[in-house]
Amino acid sequence: MSGADEEAALLGLAPVAPVRTVAYGPHPDQVVDLYPPAAGAARGPLVVLLHGGFWRAAYDRRHLSPLAAELAGQGLPVALAEYRRVGGGGGGARTFDDVTAAVAASAAAVWDVEDGAGADGTGAGGAVPEGAAAGVRPVLVGHSAGGQLALLTAARLGPGAVGRVVAVAPVADLAAAHRLGLSDHAVAALLGDEPGLAERIAAADPVRHPPAGVPVTILHGTDDGEVPPELSRRFAAAAGRQAATLRELPGVGHYAPVTPGTPACRTLLGELLAGARTG
C-alpha cells in the first residue's frame, strides 16, 4: 500500500466520540478525551495518546480517535490529548507545556465507567482507571510529531511520572528533521525561524535528551515517506540499547501502525499489551 493509500485509509475512518472530555486549561484545544474500557475489563495502565500532524493546527486529535477506541476495546484505558499547535495559539514552549499538563490531567482524571457518562461529559462519575488507582504510571504513545512530544515529555517528567514511551514513526531527531526540511520546514515553524533556532532545537530534541530511566520502544516502518526511519535509528543509537528498543516494520509506511485493522496496528497493540503484562 502506498503512503497516500495509507493516509487515506486512516483519515477515511469515522471519528469515534469519547466517553468524556475534560479540560486542563482555558483554550479550546487544552482538552483530553477519555476512552475507558468496559467496567472490569481493564488490562493495563493508562495510555496517554498524542497525535501528530507536524505540530500544526490543521491536524487535530480526531484522526486517532478510532485507535483510542480500539485500544480501549482491548482493555487499555486511553486519554487522547489535544494541545495548542502552530497556527492555533501554540508552538514552542506553549505546545510542550500543554502536553505536560495534559499528561498530568489524564493521570488525575475520573472515569464515568459505572455511571455511563455520555460524550458530552455528563454523569456523576468517580471510577478511576485501574492503573491510576494502583499508582501505575501512564504509558505515553505518540505518533509522528506526537512521538517527539511523548519523548520530550517523558524526559521532562522523568520515571516518577511516566512508566514508558511507545513512539510510532516519531520525529525523534529534530535537528535532522530541520536539515531535511520535513513537511515544508515544520521544525522552524514550531520553534520560530529566527536567531537562536539551533539552541531551541537542541533544547527540544529527543536525540539530545533521551528520557532517563523511562523505557522507550520505537515502531517505525521502513517505507515511511513522511518521517524517515533514519531519525529513529539515530535516536536509538543515542539512547543506547538498554534505554530504547527500535522495531522496524518492513514494507510499512507512516500511517498503518495507527490504523486499526492493519497488521502494523496489531503490532502496536501487541507491544502495549505485552508491556501491560510485564509492567
For each of the chain's 279 residues, which pLDDT tens digit applies?
Answer: 788 899 999 999 999 999 999 999 999 999 999 999 977 677 789 999 999 999 999 999 999 999 999 999 999 999 999 999 999 999 999 999 999 999 999 988 855 443 444 333 333 333 344 444 445 799 999 999 999 999 999 999 999 999 999 999 999 999 999 999 999 999 999 999 999 999 999 999 999 999 999 999 999 999 999 999 999 999 999 999 889 999 999 999 999 999 999 999 999 999 999 877 655
H/E element holding 48?
Answer: strand 47-50
Number of neighbours of residue 151 by Cβ within 10 angstroms: 31
Residue 26, Cβ density class (10 Å: 0-12 exposed, 13-18 middle, ≥19 buried): exposed
Is 0.95 topped by the overall pTM?
A: no
The number of domains in the chain is 1
Q: What is the pLDDT of residue 97?
A: 98
Q: What is the pLDDT of residue 192?
A: 95
* Residues 45-72 as b or e (16 or more Cβ within 10 Å = b): bbbbbbbbbbbbeebbbbbbbbbbbbbb
Q: Which domain holds residue 269?
A: 3-278
Q: Cα–Cα distance between 186 and 49 in angstroms, integer?
A: 21
Inter-axis angle of helices 93-108 and 145-157, nearest 10: 70
Q: Cα–Cα distance between 32 and 25 in angstroms, integer?
A: 10
Q: Cα–Cα distance between 149 and 126 in angstroms, integer?
A: 29
CATH number, residue 19: 3.40.50.1820
Residue 211, Cβ density class (10 Å: 0-12 exposed, 13-18 middle, ≥19 buried): buried
- Residue whose C-alpha cell is 490529548: 81
3-state secondary structure (DSSP) of residue 70: helix
Signed CA dihedral, 252, 51, 177, 150: sign only: negative
In this structure, the chain runs to a length of: 279
CB neighbour list of residue 145: distance below 8 Å, 6 or more residues apart: 52, 53, 54, 55, 171, 186
Q: Strands 216-221 and 244-249, how do they pair?
A: parallel
Q: Cα–Cα distance between 100 and 230 in angstroms, integer?
A: 27
What does each C-alpha distance from 273 to 44, 168, 195, 242 come to in angstroms?
7, 15, 45, 20
Q: What is the pLDDT of residue 81?
A: 98
